[in-house]
Structure 1
């Protein structure tokens, strides 16, 4: 069996250094960047939900969350219904960094659009959807 798909994914990952470059430019780790992005989409998550969205164990996620709270990117919010549950959301500083991240994502997306025609972009999108569904 050929590992062509895995080889292509590995090559793609090596060439697409957006997250690492953006994180470094903002003084964040790639996991911290992922946490800010996840909260930008969801607005408010529990610690476990945020860790899961970042692809981390709850204990590792907790360390990243604490680092982001210490950096004033995130804040803890008590759950009115269950005091044992804490929600995490972006602070104004976190919102500011999210905008910078989204601006960098837009530049990366525009680069792809400038190098591929509409038909090629559609094929890429369809292929990515197939891969995501298969996983």
Structure 2
């Protein structure tokens, strides 16, 4: 049976999800990308080069769904696929120069947004907030539920 603290945790996470989801949708609308395309672009940009399977694991989507997303990014000249010369069954995905430009814009925009949030946290509480988020993410990972 849920305690008041668990209800408060659930409600806080629900509001956080909604606020961040709205932010992501509004930010990505200006780039002409779907949210899934944006997430894929960012993860590819951060890794520089990875396989579809690795990308699916990072994002948490199945490979068939993600394959369509990547196909759309290829069609928009945002990413390219390359066969591994040592194993032709293995395909890597990387950003094109155009994709890298979008990736840099997205990263800068998100950094600026989260900087504003961070600045609104009292300086003495910032480390506490970061520690709390780390603990929450670790607990989610350990629960194997999400």
- TM tier, shorter chain? over 0.9
Equivalent residue for 2:134?
129
TM-score normalised to structure 1 length: 0.94
Whose radius of gyration is greater, 1 or 2?
2
Contact kept, 8 Å, 1:40 with 1:90, in 2: the verdict is yes
Segments ≥4 residues shifted beyond 4 Å: none
Other structure's SS at 2:89 match = coil
Please give the root-mean-square deviation of Cα atoms over the aligned residues, in Å.
1.1
1:70 aligns with 2:75: yes
Provide the aligned length of Structure 1 versus Structure 2: 135
* Structure 2: runs of 5+ lacking an equivalent: 141-146
1:6 aligns with 2:10: yes
Other structure's SS at 2:94 match = strand
Return the alpha-carbon distance in structure 2 between the equivalents of residues 93 and 115 of structure 1: 34
Given candidates 15, 19, 23, the residue that maps to 1:15 is 19
Return the alpha-carbon distance in structure 1 between the equivalents of residues 136 and 119 of structure 2: 24
TM-score normalised to structure 2 length: 0.87
